[in-house]
Amino acid sequence: MKPIGILAVQGAFAEHENRLDELYVPWIEIRQRKDLDGPLRGIILPGGESTVMGKLLQDLGLLQPLHDRIQQGLPVFGTCAGLILLAKTISGGESPHLHTMDIAVKRNAYGRQLGSFHTWSDFAGLGNVPMTFIRAPYIEQVFGEAQPLATVNGHIVAARQKNQLVTSFHPELDSDQRVHRYFLDQIVNANGD
């Protein structure tokens, strides 16, 4: 089975690796340009610091090839900073990013007081799921072909656009596997590879 690529230049990629291990899904780390040459079933962009990650993607020559693969339909799941990397519009600091998804996001949207928190909310088709937020963004607006999948306090915290799935929370930090399963079943497997 072709592996899922996990971007491993910065941030919380190990937790996604553990989750895919639990689900018996093979993965490889994407650290440099040549890691994208092999066959991939999809890619995960983890949480971390989106400005640092975006700059590293640019410096490592990964930004354009990743952008192109996603535009061509490669399934992608971005969590937190990974969501920011995919957004077409970022308020709170633009930096190099992939720019593939019809969402406008606000970085560090919950301010200092609510920097990190845990809650439960309905996720389209999955019921109530646990959500861990760490200096999280939220989605101010979906447009074009993006659809909201979950909201917390009136703000969109998960969305999908065809092959692209994003959450502003960290499903890899809770033991609940349903959001990763959603990505694998509804997007990766539905893609036919």
Structure tokens of 74? 């490669």
Q: Which of 4, 74, 81, 173 binds ligand GLN (CB under 6 A)?
A: 81
How far apart are the C-alpha atoms of 84 and 23, rounded to whole Å?
26
Tokens of 166: 């994003």
What are the structure tokens assigned to 187, written together?
């997007």
# binding residues, ligand GLN (CB under 6 A): 11
Strands 138-142 and 101-106: antiparallel
Instruction: Report the distance separating Cα 10 and Cα 24, nearest Å.
Output: 24
Which of 134, 140, 141, 186 is close enough to bind ligand GLN by CB under 6 A? 134
80 is a catalytic site residue: yes
Least CB distance to ligand GLN at residue 192 (A): 31
- Please name the residues in contact with 52: beta carbons below 8 A apart, sequence gap of 6 or more: 10
Q: Catalytic site residue 170?
A: yes
CB of 133 to ligand GLN, least distance (A): 8
Applying CB under 6 A, which of residues 16, 19, 106, 107 lies at the interface with ligand GLN? 107
Which one, 71 or 91, has the nearer CB to ligand GLN?
91
84 binds ligand GLN (CB under 6 A): yes
Element (H, E) at 14: helix 13-22
Q: Which stretch binds ligand GLN (CB under 6 A): 33-41, 80-88, 140-148, 185-193?
A: 80-88
Residue 149, classed as helix, strand or coil, is strand
127 CB contacts (<8 Å, ≥6 apart)?
none
Site string for ligand GLN, 36-65 (x = CB under 6 A): -----------xxxx---------------
Binding site for ligand GLN (CB under 6 A): 47-50, 80-81, 84, 107-108, 134-135
Catalytic residues: 80, 170, 172
